[in-house]
A and B are shown apart, each in its own frame.
Chain A
Amino acid sequence: MTQSEILEYLQASFPDAGIEPDETEPEPLIIIPPEHLQQVAAFLRDDEKLHFECLMCLSSIDYDEELHTVYNLYSMKHDHKCSLRCKVSREDPVIPTLTFIWHTAEWHERESYDLLGITYEGHPDLRRILNPDDWEGHPLRKDYEPQKKWHDIPLTPQPLLGGGDDG
Chain B
Amino acid sequence: MTQVHDLDIPLGPSREKMDLVLAGVEDVHGERMRIQMGPQHPATHGVLRVEIETDGEMIITATPHIGYLHRCFEKVAENVTWPQVVPFTDRLDYCSSMNNNLGWSLAVEKLFGIEVSERVQTIRVLAAELNRIANHCVALAAYSLDIGAWTPFLLLIQEREHVLDLFEELCGGRLLLNYIWIGGLSHDIPDGWLVKVHEFVEFMQPKMPELNQLLSFNKIFIERLGNVAVIPADVCLQYGVTGPNIRGAGVKWDLRKNEPYSGYETYDFDIPVGTGEAGQFGDAYDRYMVRVKEIVQSLRIIEQAATRLDNMPGDDVQAAIPKTFAKVPKGEVYFRTEQPKGELGFYIVSNGKSKPYRVKCRAPSFSNLCVMPKVAPGLLIADMVALIGSIDIVLGDGDR
Do chains A and B make direct contact within the complex (CB under 8 angstroms)? yes
Residue of chain B at shortest CB distance from A53:
B237
A129-B66 contact given A59-B347, A107-B366, A139-B75, CB 8 Å threshold: yes
Residue of chain A at shortest CB distance from B399:
A130
Query: Which one of B67, B329, B362, B370 contacts A57 once the chains associate, using CB atoms below 8 Å?
Result: B362
Is B224 interfacial (CB-CB < 8 Å)? no
Residues on B facing A (Cβ under 8 Å): 66-67, 70, 72, 74-75, 78, 110-111, 113, 237-240, 253, 258, 329-334, 336, 343, 345, 347, 349, 357-358, 360, 362, 366-367, 369-370, 399-400
Complex-state Cα separation, A59 to B78, whole angstroms:
14
Query: Which one of A56, A104, A106 contacts B334 once the chains associate, using CB atoms below 8 Å?
Result: A56
State the Cβ distance, A41 to closest chain B Cβ, in Å: 14
- Which residues on B sit within 8 Å (CB–CB) of A153? none
Q: Which of A59, A102, A103: most chain B CB closer than 10 A?
A: A59
What would 12 more interface pairs be, CB under 8 Å, given A56-B334, A57-B347, A57-B362? A25-B329, A25-B331, A27-B333, A27-B334, A29-B332, A104-B238, A107-B367, A108-B367, A115-B74, A130-B67, A130-B399, A131-B67
- 5 A-B residue pairings within 8 Å (CB atoms): A56-B336, A111-B366, A130-B70, A132-B67, A140-B75
Contact B336 A26 (CB under 8 A): no
**Mask: chain A, 125-142; 1 = CB below 8 Å from B; 0 = not:** 000111110000001100
Residue of chain B at shortest CB distance from A54:
B237
**Mask: chain A, 55-93; 1 = CB below 8 Å from B; 0 = not:** 111011110000000101000100100010000000000
Secondary structure class of chain B's binding surface, majority of residues: mixed
Is A24 interfacial (CB-CB < 8 Å)? yes
Residue of chain B at shortest CB distance from A132:
B67
Residue of chain A at shortest CB distance from B351:
A63
- Which residues on A sit within 8 Å (CB–CB) of B345? 56-57, 72
Residue of chain B at shortest CB distance from A29:
B332
Complex-state Cα separation, A83 to B349, whole angstroms:
14
Contact A61 B334 (CB under 8 A): no
Residue of chain A at shortest CB distance from B238:
A103
- Which residues on A sit within 8 Å (CB–CB) of B240? 54-56, 102-104
State the Cβ distance, B49 to closest chain A Cβ, in Å: 12
Contact A104 B67 (CB under 8 A): no
Residue of chain A at shortest CB distance from B367:
A104
Complex-state Cα separation, A111 to B67, whole angstroms:
10
- Which residues on A sit within 8 Å (CB–CB) of B239? 103-104
Contact A57 B360 (CB under 8 A): yes
A25-B330 contact given A57-B360, A131-B67, CB 8 Å threshold: yes
Chain A, 13-61, CB within 8 A of any chain B CB: 24-27, 29, 53-57, 59-61
Contact B72 A139 (CB under 8 A): yes
- Which residues on B sit within 8 Å (CB–CB) of A79? 258
State the Cβ distance, A108 to closest chain B Cβ, in Å: 8
Contact B72 A24 (CB under 8 A): no
Complex-state Cα separation, A36 to B7, whole angstroms:
62
- Which residues on A sit within 8 Å (CB–CB) of B370? 103-104, 106-107
- Which residues on A sit within 8 Å (CB–CB) of B358? 59, 61-62, 140
Contact A72 B347 (CB under 8 A): yes
Complex-state Cα separation, A56 to B347, whole angstroms:
10
- Which residues on B sit within 8 Å (CB–CB) of A129? 66-67
Contact B110 A130 (CB under 8 A): no
State the Cβ distance, A39 to closest chain B Cβ, in Å: 20
A130-B347 contact given A24-B332, A76-B253, A83-B334, CB 8 Å threshold: no
Residue of chain B at shortest CB distance from A72:
B334
Contact B334 A102 (CB under 8 A): no
Query: Which one of B74, B258, B332, B343 contacts A140 once the chains associate, using CB atoms below 8 Å?
Result: B74
State the Cβ distance, B152 to closest chain A Cβ, in Å: 32
- Which residues on A sit within 8 Å (CB–CB) of B349? 61
A56-B362 contact given A26-B110, A106-B370, A130-B399, CB 8 Å threshold: yes
Contact B74 A57 (CB under 8 A): no
State the Cβ distance, B145 to closest chain A Cβ, in Å: 28
